[in-house]
Structures are given as C-alpha cells and as structure tokens.
C-alpha cells in the first residue's frame, strides 16, 4: 500500500512539474515575442529618426536658400531665339547644349519651335508640322 501512495505522490509531482514546464515554456515564448517587438520598434524608431533628420536638413537648406537671390532664367522665346541664331551660325547641337545647359533633345525642340516661329513670321499661316 505504501508503494501505491509513493507512486501516486510521484505521479502528482510529475504532473506538477509538467504544468510548471508548460508555464515556463509559455513565458519564454512570450519573452521572445516581446524581444521581437522591441527589435521591430527599435528599427522603426531608427527609420523615423533618419527621416526626421533628413527632413529637417532639407528645411534648413530651404531656409538658407530662401535668403539667397536666385538666378532668373530667360524666357522661352529668348532661349529659342538664341538657339536658332547659334544654329544658323553653324554651331553644333552639342556645343549649343553645353552653352545653354540644356540637353541636346531640348535644343532640337527649340530649333523646331524656332522653325515654326520663322514660318509664321514669314506669313506662312498654314498648318505647321513639327
């Protein structure tokens, strides 16, 4: 009979140990989840800090540039006139592009616009093809 009592006591102790192991496993799992969430929040905070620093740097640069006088760009007609004149003098498109700080395709566009303006100025008021 004593053997049955000892076996029953050991079974109760084993069951208690099993319950305690399950609780410990859940706590470890929840601790790992908390660690993952904290890592995620730390990464988000780093991203937010970097974005804020960049935004404030942009604002500071904008405020610095606000006080400075900006260079005025010439009108499109004046630019087109200069480009057409330079092309009539025999300058290459790449040279004109470098002087005007424009791309070669923009120079070609201005040349086309200048050609249309010349046709209209000459009295050729028909359909203009570009």
Looking at residue 14, its pLDDT comes to 95
**Closest C-alpha to 92, from 108, 76, 72:** 108
Looking at residue 52, its pLDDT comes to 93
Q: How far apart are CA 47 and CA 40, in angstroms?
A: 11
Looking at residue 117, its pLDDT comes to 53
pTM of the model: 0.37
Cα torsion angle, 82, 84, 90, 96, sign: positive
**Cβ atoms 100, 82 nearer than 8 A:** yes
CA distances to 41, 51, 58, 108 from 67, rounded to whole Å, are 39, 25, 15, 36
Q: How far apart are CA 7 and CA 24, in angstroms?
A: 25
Looking at residue 47, its pLDDT comes to 93
pLDDT tens, N- to C-terminus, the chain (130 residues): 889 999 999 999 999 999 999 999 888 888 888 889 999 999 999 999 999 999 999 998 888 887 676 555 567 788 888 888 888 888 888 888 888 888 888 888 888 887 755 544 555 444 444 4
Looking at residue 30, its pLDDT comes to 84
Burial class of residue 108, CB neighbours in 10 A (0-12, 13-18, 19+) = middle
Q: Which helix (H) or strand (E) holds 30?
A: helix 2-67
């Amino acid at each position: 009979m004593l053997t049955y009592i000892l076996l029953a006591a050991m079974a109760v102790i084993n069951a208690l140990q099993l319950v305690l192991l399950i609780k410990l496993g859940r706590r470890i799992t929840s601790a790992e989840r908390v660690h993952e969430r904290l890592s995620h929040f730390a990464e988000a905070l780093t991203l937010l800090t970097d974005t804020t620093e960049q935004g404030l740097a942009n604002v500071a640069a904008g405020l610095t540039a606000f006080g400075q006088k900006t260079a005025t760009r010439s009108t499109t007609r004046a630019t087109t006139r200069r480009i057409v004149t330079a092309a009539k003098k025999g300058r290459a498109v790449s040279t004109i592009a470098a002087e005007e700080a424009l791309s070669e395709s923009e120079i070609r566009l201005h040349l086309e616009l200048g050609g249309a303006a010349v046709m209209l100025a000459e009295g050729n008021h028909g359909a203009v093809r570009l």
